[in-house]
Structure 1
Amino acid sequence: MQLTNAARQLKQKKIPFTYHTYEVDDTDVSAKHVAMTLNKPLDELYKTICLMNEKKQYAFFLISGERDIDLKAAAKAWGAKKASTVPMKELETLTGYIRGGVSPIGAKKPFPVYLHEAAQDRETITISAGKRGYQIELTPEDLLQFTNGHWFSQ
């Protein structure tokens, strides 16, 4: 099985995870579609959203598949005045990842990571492994520890 950069990094640090693969449908890369394909609850699948603040600094925010990001809450958690999503055309150049395959692990540059507090209620969460068709399941605590991440609420 082909390991993504994110999976290799976790394996190297001996962080336990489960690797999931699925067949990609390029017409639908939504969290809902991925959850259905993997037969996982939507609130267990966490999507990674890359945001930019007013100082052109970047961060990854992870929220469960059934939620939409609250940009005001994200900015507040980040200590920023304003936050906006990174335009799709800039995403790959900035992170090394394409839409539907963005992971908070193994990006070109390490950005701050914020995980929605709803993940505290989950034994494990499933996140992108950095490539469409690949997901990593791990504990929220291991994700935060590995990425030096923070909890946030909205």
Structure 2
Amino acid sequence: MAKNKEVKTNAMRLLDKKKITYETFTYECDEFIDAIHIADLLELPYEKVYKTLVTKGVGNEYYVFVLPIQKELNLKKAAKLAGEKSLSMVHVKDINKITGYIRGGCTAIGMKKQYKTWIDESAESLSWMIVSGGKLGVQIKLQPKDLREAANAVFADITMESTD
């Protein structure tokens, strides 16, 4: 796995400011590739790699959810947590305007604005996890409690039930 501490994103600067320890992994990437492909590329276990999704409530508020790459966000659970009647996924073309990040580089750390954020409860028991580093080609490895602190997030049950 390639490591590179030289490229600093907003997420990394915020982690540095909070004196949170993290490790970066970089890979060649010019356009969006899904998180499962990234995990395969970096030879990372799927259960440790998390994606960041941004939703919009009926009242035009935005909410952020961090969940395992193989899981789906349960919009009903998410809406209940957010105190909204319903939530919808933010359109890809709006991600940069809302978060300051682009699709595939979106992370809950250091967005343009601090949105209410939830991390799937499955992360709480992990010793470490991987999330986007704030730009294409960069992933960050950190402790779940540190992600919670950096993103001002809460652990909660936010995913669909398994059908296995």
With normalisation by structure 1, the TM-score equals 0.94
Gaps of 5+ in 2: 1-5, 160-164
Aligned equivalents of 1:79 and 1:45: distance in 2?
Answer: 27
Corresponding residue SS for 2:108? coil
> Where in structure 1 do 4 or more consecutive aligned residues deviate above 3 Å?
none
Measure how far apart 1:25 and its partner are. 5.6
Name the aligned partner's letter for residue 68 of structure 2: S
Q: Does residue 71 of the first structure (1) align with residue 75 of the second (2)?
A: yes
* Counterpart code for 1:98: I
Matched, 1:3 2:8: yes
Choose from 16, 19, 23 the match for 2:21. Answer: 16
Q: Deviations over 1:11-59 (max 9, x none)?
A: 1211011111111162x51110010111101111110000111111001
Give me the whole-angstrom Cα distance separating, in 1, the residues matched to 2:22 and 2:82.
Answer: 27
- Give the AA of the match of 1:17: Y
* Secondary structure at 2:103 match in 1: coil
Identity of aligned residues (%): 37
Q: For residues 5-154 of structure 1, what are the structure 2 equivalents within 5 Å?
A: 5-24=10-29, 26=31, 29-153=33-157, 154=159
Q: C-alpha distance in 1, partners of 2:138/2:90?
A: 22
- Give the superposition deviation at 1:67: 0.5
Asked whether the equivalents of residues 19 and 137 of structure 1 are also in contact (C-alpha less than 8 Å), the reply is yes
Structure 2 distance, partners of 1:89, 1:37, is 26
| Cα distance in 2 between the residues matched to 1:91 and 1:126 | 20
Letter in 2 for 1:20: F
**1:74–1:152 CA contact under 8 A, matched in 2:** no
Aligned length: 153
Amino acid at match of 2:27: Y
CA deviation map 1:54-106 (0-9, x unaligned):
11100110000110111111111222111110011111111111110101111
Cα distance in structure 2, aligned partners of 1:81 and 1:50: 16
Kept after mapping to 2: 8 A contact 1:17/1:138: yes
Aligned residues of 2:30 and 2:136 also touching (Cα < 8 A): no
What is the CA–CA distance in structure 1 between the aligned matches of 2:110 and 2:68, rounded to whole Å?
20
